[in-house]
Amino acid sequence: MTPREWLARQRREVSGPLRLAAVYGIAEGGLIIAQAGLIAWLVQQVVIHERPLGDFLLAGLILIGVVGLRPLFASLRAGAGISAAARVRAVVRHRLIHHVESLGPAGLADISSGELSSQLTDQVDALEGYFARYVPQMTIAVIVPAAIVAAAYTQDWIAASFLLLSAPLIPLFMALVGMGAERLNRDQFLALGRLSGQFLDRVRGLTTLRLFGRTEDAAAGIVSGSDEYRQRSMRVLRVAFLSSAVLEFFASVAIAVVAIYIGFGLLGYIEYGPSTQLTLFSGLFILLLAPEFFQPLRTLAQHYHDRATALGAAELLNELEARPVGEETFGTGTLRGGTKFGEEKFGTGTLQMTDLRLDRVGRGTILRVDSFRADAGARVLIEGPSGTGKTSLLLAIAGLLPVAEGTIERRFSDSRIGWLGSPPFLANTSIRANIRFGDPAADDSAILDAAHQAGVMEFTDRLDQGLDTIVGERGLSLSGGQAQRVALARALVSPAPMILLDEPTNALDATTESYVLKAINTLAAEGRVVVISSHDAALRGVADQRYRINDQQLEMIGNG
């Protein structure tokens, strides 16, 4: 789908408000013609026919009403356009967020968090001008000038022809300028995305940068990225101002030609065609309409930059939305899960993998699994050096990494999967809320029980607000061991029949490690499948099944 097709798809969803905005703009154009006609008629009557102003009280009131209605219709047009743009942004952002959630970490592995957030905020917001102003103005820029030319033709076809012949110049130069503006805007968005990702990475690693004395280099990188974005922004503005200057020049020349023709016609220096029939009314009427004839076209030219910006954003948003999910994500392989059977309880279910092959972009095949089976209550340990594919296998089991070949079958009464990584993710909220993320329906007694089993209460009892203590972004106020205990309690409260643990004892103190080992036994005793990836020897004592990755092959090395 091209960017233009993508924008057309969004436009169809708000066609009603956009048509309404165009109708308001056309009505405003009709009032412009009426206003010019009333003014020209009043001047004709007063100057030429020398009638007193008192005779035109009704006409004056009508003129005041027409002048007052113009800003009203302009306001209604702007409101309808803004409403349409707000709806498009909301729909697109909701759809993209849902798509991002469907892609998961594996599908977004090549996009930084800063770049992704820039796409979901800045690039979606860049659509506003296109829908709020440019799209309605396209209709207005065709109908209103046509109506003005038709009105001018009723008075003098030569003057009207001058307007008509000069009109194509504006769209022509809009197209010429727009050829480069779209690419410039796309490059600007790419630079902004890179800058956002770079800044977020530096903020996240600020402590490490300070420890290694690299803060000045990091700041220099941010300055360099900001300067690149500044230069790209100036290129976009240069094109925008250049296009406006060119269009204003041609519009001014056309208006001047019309004014010269009418002036010389009224003075009697031109005797060709209808020029001899020009009157103060017809001449003034056409002169008042001439600037208004170009105004919708000039406004369209001003908003043409919004079109170029939207096309640049649409290209990148379309690329994000086109990333495959679902079965397409798994290549020729298959992942099956969520099939409910029997009673919905722990103690039933199976995880099975057959003839599995996992690939990574740029690395080719990273892991093969000929056969793997884990029944309810099993504690499975997957060992191997760092970089051999242990985490990749867990991601594939969770449905977050494409399966190149083979099948993964998850036959459980519940399709949910629990995950405990290292370091664990904690949100900027209370400890209680972080535990409840495991099961939003969990009551306080279940959360309290899980907190006791994971050893969370050992340190929360010393806090003034206990479980209601706010931990900060990524558990900033907690130590690594405390954060792991909170994440462990989240896994315990989870209703998921399968729990995946990625290096759960990494860099933990002996006390926290003992809680992890006890929790693994508790989870298995409840009838859950527990799959652990680690090279920690302490976990071998709790494993029912042990596998090792050797030369990209998963091999069983023992039971019990």
Identify whether the C-beta of residue 159 lies closer than 8 Å to the C-beta of residue 123.
no
Peptide bond into 424 cis (omega under 30): no
Q: Exposure pattern of 296-333 as b/e (b: 16+ CB <10 Å)?
A: bbbbbbbbbbbbbbbbbbbbbbbebbebeeeeebbeeb
DSSP state of 475: G
The gap from C-alpha 92 to its chain's centroid, in whole angstroms, comes to: 7
* pTM for this predicted structure: 0.63
Tens digit of pLDDT at every position of the chain (560 positions): 788 888 888 888 898 999 999 999 999 999 999 999 999 999 888 888 888 877 888 888 999 999 999 999 999 999 999 999 999 999 999 998 888 877 766 667 667 776 787 788 888 888 998 899 999 998 998 999 999 999 998 888 888 888 888 877 766 766 666 555 656 766 776 777 677 777 777 776 777 777 778 888 888 888 888 888 788 778 777 776 766 677 777 778 888 888 888 888 888 788 777 877 888 888 899 999 988 888 888 788 778 778 878 887 888 888 888 887 644 333 344 544 543 333 334 667 899 999 999 887 667 888 999 999 999 889 999 998 888 888 889 988 888 777 888 988 888 877 788 888 877 888 888 999 999 998 888 898 999 999 999 899 988 888 888 899 988 777 777 888 888 889 999 989 988 899 999 988 887 888 888 988 998 888 888 888 999 998 888 888 889 999 999 988 999 987 75
How far apart (Å, rounded) are the C-alpha atoms in residues 25 and 70? 9
Per-position DSSP letters for 170-193, written without gaps between them: HHHHHHHHHHHHHHHHHHHHHHHH
Rounded Cα–Cα distance for residues 182 and 367 (Å)? 43
Specify the DSSP class assigned to residue 557: E
Distances in Å between the Cα of 224 and the Cα atoms of 116, 195, 231, 250, 411 are 21, 9, 11, 40, 52
Which residue segments constitute the domains of the chain, with CATH numbers given?
Answer: 3-322 (1.20.1560.10), 334-559 (3.40.50.300)
Cα–Cα distance measured from residue 85 to residue 452, given in angstroms and rounded to the nearest whole number: 51
Q: How far apart are CA 534 and CA 383, in angstroms?
A: 5
Residue 168 carries which side chain, given as an amino acid letter? P
What pLDDT score does 83 carry?
A: 92
CB atoms within 10 A of CB 558: 12
Q: Which residues contact 551 (CB under 8 A, 6 or more apart)?
A: none
For 98, residues 6+ apart whose C-beta sits below 8 A from its C-beta are none
* Six-digit token string for 128: 């506003």
Residue 193 half-sphere exposure toward CB, CA atoms < 13 A: 23
**What is the 8-class DSSP label of residue 430?**
B
